[in-house]
Homo-oligomer: A and B are copies of this chain.
Amino acid sequence: MSLKIDPWSAPKTLDYERLLKVFGIRPFKELIPLFTEKGIPLSLHMRRGIIFGHRDLDRIINAYSRGEKVAVLTGFMPSGRFHFGHKMTADQLIYYQRLGFKVFVALADAEAFAVRRLPRSEIVRIGIEEYVANLIALGLDAEKTVFYFQTNRGTPYYRLIQLFSGKVTMSEMEAIYGDLTPGKVMAAFTQASDILHVELPEYGGYKHVVVPVGADQDPHLRLARDLADRMKGVVDLLPPASTYHTLIPGLDGAKMSSSRPDYTIFLTDPPELARRKLMAALTGGRPTAEEQRRLGGMPDKCVVFQLYRYHLVPDDETLRAIREECETGRILCGPCKRRAADMLVEFLRDHQEKLKSAVEVARRVVEPPSF
């Protein structure tokens, strides 16, 4: 579509401007005074500008500080392996959970079946052992989180899907999704129900819901917001709030994705394999060591620095020091990569140790569909 957002651009580019201007997303930084006033800590991704935009998050924060019920919701399509792109969403869920938000995680098994054409048993296995288990190992509290498969969510959730279908035209669907298949039509309404059903009393009546997404996912949020509006008189739904983040790039600077395993670090990669992948990553280095010592490296163009920034370095002061070392030319890419690789290997070893028991927990807390 003409206004297609490129999710891989940095927030400084034209597309970011477009999101803010054309789609009415507000800059996240406008909310920082509100967080400060309410005494709510910012998340790592908020502090670092990775979460750059939002819709209605102020409403959610105000409701939260009044002690009202608030929730955060996301969905994963169980069709590949859990990687550092997914981890970023996980980190956001954990942040909100620790503030006291209710967490809902949809496993988009219907979509994986209809659109990706995977076998059902494989979808269910991946959903539990790959997605839910990794989320738990990362620190999501399994007992306080609602994990569900889309095909296993109960009648009122499906009623929304059915009723939504009368409220949208084919042209509106095509504007959002391009070429349509019956599976995509179904997936669109199912996703809208994922976002909105938690407002129903049957699912806890969470009227204040935030959905953290990449900028490319905004069309889904706009559909959900429109549907909330169009259901007036049928069922009372508030439009969801959302936040928008830039996506961590793959190791070659292009997309991080399960379908590009050489450029994607999975949380179940053997640590030494992950080290080798990282050592081959694109950096923001100069053509020669001499030049780099003189001019400094370019961390904002460096995939390794993005790994530090998104994931490996929780402490802001340490991250600032790494940036300075790079920009002043005090460290070259080789040793910097080795340091990142050491951090990565340590993270993966620790995570994979936690994952062993997390798989057992995941099998216990998620109800698999009967077929």
In whole angstroms, what is the CA distance A173 to B114 when docked?
15
C-alpha spacing A151/B160, complex, angstroms: 9
Given contacts A152-B155, A158-B158, contact A114 B165 (CB under 8 A): yes
Q: How large is the interface on A (under 10, 10 to 19, 20 to 34, 35 or more residues)?
A: 35 or more
The complex places the Cα of A180 from the Cα of B162 at a distance, in Å, of 15
User: Please, which residues of chain B bring their CB within 8 A of the CB of A170?
Assistant: 180-182
A181 contacts B169, CB within 8 Å? yes
CB-CB nearest in chain B for A235: B371
Q: Is A369 an interface residue (CB 8 A)?
A: yes
Contact partners of A202 in chain B: CB under 8 A: 370
- C-beta contact mask, A301-345 vs B, less than 8 Å → 1, else 0? 000000000000000000000000000000000000000000000
The proximity string for A residues 153-173 relative to B, scoring 1 for CB distances below 8 Å and 0 otherwise, is 111101101110110111001
**Interchain nearest-CB distance for A227 vs B (Å):** 11
Number of copies of this chain in the oligomer? Answer: 2
Measuring CB to CB, which residues of chain A are less than 8 angstroms from any residue of chain B? 110, 113-115, 117, 119-120, 150-156, 158-159, 161-163, 165-166, 168-170, 173, 180-183, 185-187, 189-190, 202, 233-235, 369-371
Contact sample, A vs B, 25 pairs, CB 8 Å cutoff: A110-B159, A113-B163, A113-B166, A114-B165, A114-B166, A115-B166, A151-B158, A151-B162, A152-B159, A155-B158, A158-B158, A162-B186, A162-B190, A165-B183, A165-B186, A166-B183, A168-B182, A169-B182, A170-B180, A170-B181, A182-B185, A185-B185, A186-B186, A186-B189, A235-B371
Chain A to chain B: the 9 pairs with minimum beta-carbon distance, closest first: A114-B166, A165-B186, A110-B162, A158-B158, A151-B159, A166-B183, A235-B371, A165-B182, A165-B183
